[in-house]
Amino acid sequence: MREIVFDTETTGLDPRSGDRLVEIGCIEMVNRVPTGSVFHCYFNPERDMPAEAEAVHGLSITFLSDKPKFAEKTGEFLDFIGDSPLVAHNAGFDFGFMNNELEMCGLEPVSRDRMIDTVAIARRKHPGAKLSLDALCSRYGIDRSHRTKHGALLDAELLAQLYVELMGGRQIGLELAADVAARAEAVAMQETVMVSGSVTRTFRSPRPHAASAEELARHDAFMAGFSEPIWSR
């Protein structure tokens, strides 16, 4: 099962008012284990950077001025996410900015049917609790000591750990793909065999299960040691 955990940084809170996406970080997970494959990019927003936004993520317009525009990276980005489910924290926010950028490029938005919102998952598991990424990392003991400012790739890495915990814990990801494939192959070999394009069942020879004469004698000797057993009444 392939999923993409991602996060964005922006110039503000509302793409409809002209705010733009300035950073995106994506992490590939298979069976909820990070594969090491990532997509990370900064973007030139072609506008100013409000001081309050820069205070959150530390990205100045000077730093971003020589970075590619989103339109220059759309193909690479869409190839990376493919048709996989997309996991984000307060996912509606990230989807809003991502789809606004795609629509500005004349491309179809990503369907929200693919959206997995970890805030919604956390709200169901912990009603009334604080649901920020920081608060949930503290709840699950996820180290974020190296996080001094928001950053899309760093936050996606923390979110990937949190997502696994929210979905049941680290044990979910302990099945290696090779083990899964080997078990599937073994089951398939036991159940069916292909013969001239048709499928036939394969049955094992029954294993001997009757007790031997020696075993029966030992059993009789053991039972003789009981005094007036109830099954003899």
The yes-or-no answer on residue 150 being catalytic is yes
Give how far Cα 155 sits from Cα of 6, 136, 146, Å: 8, 12, 11
**DSSP-assigned letter for residue 23:** E
Residue labelled with tokens 């070999």: 189
Please state, in angstroms and rounded to a whole number, the distance separating the CA atoms of residues 181 and 172: 16
Q: Which is the catalytic residue, given 40, 57, 150, 219?
A: 150
Helices (H), the chain: 51-57, 61-64, 70-81, 91-104, 118-125, 133-139, 152-166, 177-191, 213-223
**DSSP-assigned letter for residue 110:** P
Can you list the pairs that 216-222 forms with residues at least 24 positions away whose Cβ atoms lie under 8 Å? none
User: What does the chain come to in residues?
Assistant: 233
Please state, in angstroms and rounded to a whole number, the distance separating the CA atoms of residues 49 and 76: 25
Give how far Cα 37 sits from Cα of 24, 29, 63, 172, Å: 14, 8, 25, 20
**DSSP-assigned letter for residue 111:** P
Beta bridge partners of 3: 29
Q: Which residues are catalytic?
A: 150
